[in-house]
Amino acid sequence: MQIEKKDIRALSKEQLRDFFVANNDKAFRGNQVYEWLWSKGAHSFEDMTNVAKTTRSMLEENFVINHIKVDTMQRSSDGTVKNAVRLHDGLVVESVLIPTDTRTTACVSSQVGCSLDCNFCATARLKRMRNLEPGEIYDQIMAIDKESRLYYNHPLSNIVFMGMGEPLMNYNNVIKAIDMITSPEGLGMSPKRIMLSTSGIPKMIKKMADDDVKFKLAVSLHSAIDETRAKIMPFSKNFPLKDLREALEYWYRKTKSKISYEYVVWKGINDDKASIDALVKFCKYVPCKVNLIEYNPIDDGEFQQASEESILAYIKALESIDVVVKVRRSRGKDIDAACGQLANKEAEV
């Protein structure tokens, strides 16, 4: 019976060093291999040119490198790039490169499908098939960094976890990936350039605060009225706004990091005065800013973009209490560049 090989990237540097010592080799080989895997992004053991051929053969016998493959890449007329990313088991997720004049942002996925049931989101219809491994998340970043350098002549500058999946439902793997992204032994990116977007799971928001994470937090809010939010995001019945509010207050006390609220305004759903007043009240609890997001309809159903008048009413009300509010227009419309529903927006970290 053939034993399935383990992905070598699941090993820490210490475990790699121990592996080499156990196989009568020098511990420093573990350092070499670790650098190839993460800093240099080796796709195969043959890429490790300063490692002896016999050592590479030993690695081949014991491990695999389950790298992603960019199956198809589409470039929009506005410069947005969408990647269909094939995983080692044949499943596919999406990642998106969002360019501006001064930077490029990677929008990455954390799950195949999604654990939640937001009615407006195309990904929610796929249901969750599995969590992404840390290396699979990291690979999306590496691929977009290469595309940024190729098409825009500068490295990737920002990362948003707004793609397929709910990051806090894959917490350990997402944190491991971010640790590697920010490590000098990985990409060395500042955590302040990373934003994690969640639909709002109070206990996990508190855990992030307790874990003293340094990246930024965005919450897909969409309504500050429980009944309305439950219609938009049915799972939120289990996480009432009072619990979310408490978790966000806890986050701010621990981290002193301002929260971003992602908020789509839909016609006939949350474009009335009561919804505006409720959001204004909610924004007073914790220092925050609001991103009003243009909606990309996924069908001809009940979720349709609200009028400009409604958007302007939100802006006026929020600015009256000194909340910074920005309108995020859809990007990559001609290639349907949505990983999840929010990924194609001009995300700001």
Q: Give the per-residue pLDDT at 308.
A: 93
Per-residue tokens: 37: 């895997």
Query: What's residue 294's pLDDT?
Result: 82
Residues 237-267 have pLDDT tens digits of 889 999 999 999 999 999 999 999 999 999 9
Which residues belong to the annotated binding site? 114, 118, 121, 165-166, 197, 220-222, 296
Which pLDDT score, from 0 to 100, does residue 344 have?
40
127 shares its domain with 196: yes
On whether both 180 and 329 belong to a single domain, the answer is yes
261 and 316 inside one domain: yes
Examine the domain organization and report whether 205 and 241 are in the same domain.
Answer: yes
Q: Which has more pLDDT, 294 or 107?
A: 107
pLDDT mean over 327-338: 63
pLDDT band at 116, cuts 50/70/90?
low
Where is the domain boundary, 32, 64, 96?
64
Do residues 60 and 85 both lie within one domain? no
What are the binding residues for S-adenosyl-L-methionine? 165-166, 197, 220-222, 296
Residue numbering of the annotated binding site for [4Fe-4S] cluster: 114, 118, 121
Residues 49 and 84 in one domain: no
Asked whether residue 195 falls in the same domain as residue 282, the answer is yes
CATH number at residue 19: 1.10.150.530
**176 alpha-carbon distance from chain centroid:** 13
**Residue 181 domain boundaries:** 78-335
> Is the domain of 173 the same as that of 32?
no
337: closest CA among 145, 83, 136, 164? 83
Cβ contact 96:343 at 8 Å: yes
Give 11-60 pLDDT, tens digit per residue: 999 999 999 999 999 999 999 999 999 999 999 999 999 999 999 999 99
Mean pLDDT throughout 152-172? 95
Q: Is 94 a catalytic residue?
A: yes
pLDDT tens digit string along 136-157? 999 999 999 999 999 999 999 9
Confidence check: pLDDT of 87 > 50: yes
Question: Could you give the number of structural domains in the chain?
Answer: 2
- CA 250: distance to chain centroid? 22
Q: Is 339 a catalytic residue?
A: yes
Choose the catalytic residue: 288, 339, 346, 348: 339
The answer to whether position 125 is within a domain reads yes
Residue 121 has pLDDT above 70, yes or no: no
Residue 345 banded pLDDT, cuts 50, 70, 90: very low
pLDDT at 334 over 60: no
pLDDT number for residue 342: 40
pLDDT, tens only, 315-328: 999 999 999 999 98
Q: Which of 212, 218, 223, 210 is nearest to 282 (CA)?
A: 223
Segment (H or E) for 69: strand 69-75
Amino acid 338: pLDDT: 45
Strands lying side by side in the sheet with 92-99: 69-75, 81-86, 92-99, 104-107, 158-161, 194-198, 216-220, 259-264, 288-293, 324-328
Kindly report, residue by residue over 178-236, the tens digit of the pLDDT.
999 999 999 999 999 999 999 999 999 999 999 999 999 999 999 999 999 999 988 88
Looking at the domain assignment, is residue 345 inside a domain? Answer: no
347 domain residue, yes or no = no
Whether 59 and 84 share a structural domain: no
Has residue 105 been placed in a domain? Answer: yes
Q: Among the listed ranges 229-233, 239-243, 284-288, 343-347, which one has the minimum average pLDDT value?
A: 343-347
pLDDT at 110: 95
Higher pLDDT, 304 or 33: 33
Count how many Cα atoms sit within 13 Å of the Cα of residue 129 in the half-sphere of its side chain: 14
- Evaluate whether residue 340 is within a structural domain: no
Verify that 100 and 237 share a domain, yes or no.
yes
CA distance 321 to 137: 38
Both 14 and 96 in a single domain?
no
Q: Tell me the backbone φ, ψ of residue 227, rounded to 5 degrees.
A: -65, -40
Active site residue: 94, 136, 147, 348, which one?
A: 94
123, pLDDT greater than 60: no
Asked if residue 330 and residue 198 are part of one domain, the reply reads: yes
Percent residues over pLDDT 90 in the chain: 79
